[in-house]
Structure 1
Amino acid sequence: MDLGLKGKVAVITGGSVGIGLAIAEGLAAEGSHVVLAARQSERVTAEAGRIAAHFGVRTLGVACDVGTPEGTRKLVDETAATFGGADILINNAGTGSNETIMEAPDEKWQSYWDLHVMAAVRLARGFVPSMRERGAGVILHNASICAAQPLWYEPIYNVTKAALMMFSKTLAQEVIKDNIRVNTVNPGLILTPDWVKTAKQLTADKGGDWQGYLDEVAREHAPIKRFATAQELANFFVFLCSDKASYSVGSTYYVDGGMLKTV
């Protein structure tokens, strides 16, 4: 199936590992040129080079922190210098948290707000103008099932991801007149390096059965009884970027193996 993505320029934040990297590979496989944004310079440069060599597309690795105004500006400027703008923006950069509302300081709230919400705001302001010039665009936000079904131990993550979901809905209404489609994806359990790292830490003094720990998490939370691979989630993102999703505007899609407990 031709998804109409060949030659498109896609920017993916948090693009050097996990979900972001899988999305970049999925888009590159369809012939899209990709810009990977991540904080670690060596890794983002290496992954950009690997994707270019493997898929035969043009790539750019940008080392930046999109949780800062300077980082988003750098990403927009370097993309413009190399590609003249972007057709697709995937706001994927983010990380989990662990705190209580009573104990978390203002600074922690602010840092997550900047990473999960203001990065998306600033990058929209930065990339929408070039999408308008190109006549169309797609912006996708990787939020979380926690935006609608919160986990008790990460209130800041829950709140900022919920805000990102509403921002996405609001942005969609503003830019659809420019033929720019905006949507949100709320993943459930996705097997990322962070999940494996956490499982290994939690089981280090209990025999080290990190896989057993993850299996138990999946059995408890997901009716499908397993984690998704990053590639499974990336497939959905790639579809939403494509012409085949042309009527998908301002929506939130759950890719969660049945984890959401409401309609």
Structure 2
Amino acid sequence: MKLGLAGKVAIITGSSKGIGLETALHLVREGAKVTICARNIDMLKVAAKHIVDETGVEVHYIETDVTKEADCKRLITSTVEKYGRLDIVVNNAGTSAANPFEEVSTDLWQEDLDLKLFGAIHCSRYAIPHMREVGGGAIVNVTAQAAKTPPASSLPTTVSRAAGMALTKAMSKDLGPDNIRVNTVCIGLIRSDQIEKKWKRNSPDLTWEQYSKEAGGNIPLGRIGNTAEAAQVITFLVSDAASYVTGTAVNIDGGLAGAL
């Protein structure tokens, strides 16, 4: 399948590790020019070197705090100055914050919304004019499958992610006439630093494969997913192969979600 990503320019937020870094690797391998960003410059440098080691291709990297609108604007401007255009934005920045309702302070609500919702809003807002200039583009907002059917003690994350899903659908309607496609991927249980720490702390005698099957016992596919499986779906959604796909939410959760 030809993805048509060669020469396209992409920004991926929260891309110093995990799904963001893996998506950067996939896009680079498909011939895209990529900017990675995160709040920790040291981790960004390590990520950029990892991409070079794996692909032989250098990427642009810029320290960015997407909770700050000025940083989002600078991220977009820097990328366009570097590469001359912008085609793709993957709004991936986010952390896990799951608590009972009464334990979530006003500050935590605001921090979560600033990171997961307003980060996507600001990055998209400044990217859209540049996408119009090149005849279209693709935006993927990374959300969570739990946003569709929030469990107890899942706040504020599930609310922020649900807002991201609504943002995706509304943007897809507004931007469709400009050939700018907007989709979301709803992430389930994917291997991460947090999960690996839990594995090594609680089950050091198990291999990853054994732990994955044990921890993923309630998942229909019977295991925890890996970052490449998420990155492959994101890569498809931003590619020409998905040219008629917009306004949709794709679960990447091994079948765990109780909603389509």
Q: TM-score range by the shorter chain?
A: over 0.9
Gapped regions of structure 1 (runs ≥ 5): none
Q: What is the Cα deviation at residue 191 of structure 1? A: 0.8
Amino acid at match of 1:227: I
Name the counterpart of 1:235: 232
Partners of 2:2 and 2:241 within 8 A in 1: no
Q: What is the Cα deviation at residue 147 of structure 1? A: 1.0
Between 96-105 and 230-239, report the one with greater CA deviation: 96-105
Pair 82,122 (structure 1): closer, same or farther in 2 beyond 3 Å: same
Amino acid at match of 1:110: Q
Amino acid at match of 1:184: T
Q: How many residues align?
A: 259
In 2, Cα distance between the equivalents of 1:171 and 1:218? 34
Q: What is the Cα deviation at residue 151 of structure 1? A: 3.1
Name the counterpart of 1:245: 242
Q: What is the Cα deviation at residue 124 of structure 1? A: 1.0
Name the counterpart of 2:179: 179
Gapped regions of structure 2 (runs ≥ 5): none
Name the counterpart of 2:67: 67
In 2, Cα distance between the equivalents of 1:184 and 1:60? 24
Question: What's the Cα RMSD here?
Answer: 1.8
In 2, Cα distance between the equivalents of 1:136 and 1:77? 18
Amino acid at match of 1:257: G
Q: What is the Cα deviation at residue 83 of structure 1? A: 1.6
Amino acid at match of 2:24: A
In 1, Cα distance between the equivalents of 2:80 and 2:204? 51
Name the counterpart of 1:138: 138
In 2, Cα distance between the equivalents of 1:120 and 1:132? 18
Q: In the TM superposition, what are the counterparts of 1:1-263 in structure 2 within 5 Å? A: 1-52=1-52, 54-201=54-201, 203=202, 211=208, 214-220=212-218, 222-263=219-260
Partners of 1:199 and 1:210 within 8 A in 2: no
Deviating runs (4+, > 6 A) in structure 1?
A: none
**TM-score, normalised to structure 1's length?**
0.92
Amino acid at match of 1:215: K
Between 209-218 and 169-178, report the one with greater CA deviation: 209-218
Partners of 1:45 and 1:62 within 8 A in 2: no
In 1, Cα distance between the equivalents of 2:71 and 2:207? 35
Pair 24,34 (structure 1): closer, same or farther in 2 beyond 3 Å: same
